[in-house]
């Protein structure tokens, strides 16, 4: 039993080469399982038709305002850094 299960999302793991629809089990805020089989959880969210990703890093960001950060977060950016030099 997981805290949270994301079902039916596309998982792309460049390290292992996995690019497939999978179910993800999360415990304590960390990924505990990635499986083609059904997983049980206290909360289950269908993410069918979506790509599941832990977040993206923007290494060259110019928008350093709350509004820009909000838009980046809606695009999945979890870290935005001003690293142009």
Mark whether 44 and 81 lie in a shared domain. no
Mark whether 48 and 82 lie in a shared domain. no
DSSP 58: E
Mark whether 5 and 32 lie in a shared domain. yes
Entry pTM: 0.72
Mark whether 42 and 60 lie in a shared domain. no
- pLDDT tens-place values along the chain, 85 residues long: 999 999 999 998 878 889 999 999 999 999 999 999 999 999 999 999 999 887 788 888 888 889 988 999 888 888 888 876 6
- Asked if 77 and 59 count as a contact pair (C-beta separation under 8 A), the reply is no
| Of the candidates 80, 84, 78, 71, the residue with the CA atom closest to the CA atom of residue 56 | 78
Q: What pLDDT, on the 0 to 100 scale, is given for residue 4?
A: 98
Q: What pLDDT, on the 0 to 100 scale, is given for residue 1?
A: 94
Q: What pLDDT, on the 0 to 100 scale, is given for residue 83?
A: 77
Mark whether 49 and 59 lie in a shared domain. no
- Asked if 4 and 41 count as a contact pair (C-beta separation under 8 A), the reply is yes
List Cβ neighbours of 37 (8 Å cut-off, separation of 6 or more). Answer: 23
Cα separation, 57 vs 13, in Å, equals 16
Q: What pLDDT, on the 0 to 100 scale, is given for residue 11?
A: 94
What is the number of structural domains in the chain? 2
């Amino acid at each position: 039993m997981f805290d949270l299960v994301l079902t039916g999302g596309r998982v792309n793991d460049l390290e292992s080469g996995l690019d497939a629809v999978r179910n993800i089990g999360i415990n304590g805020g960390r990924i505990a399982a990635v499986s083609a089989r059904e997983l049980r959880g206290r909360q289950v969210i269908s993410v069918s038709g979506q790509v599941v990703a832990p977040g993206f890093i923007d290494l060259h960001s110019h928008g350093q305002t709350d509004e820009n950060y909000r838009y980046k977060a809606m695009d999945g950016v979890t870290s935005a850094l001003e690293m142009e030099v």
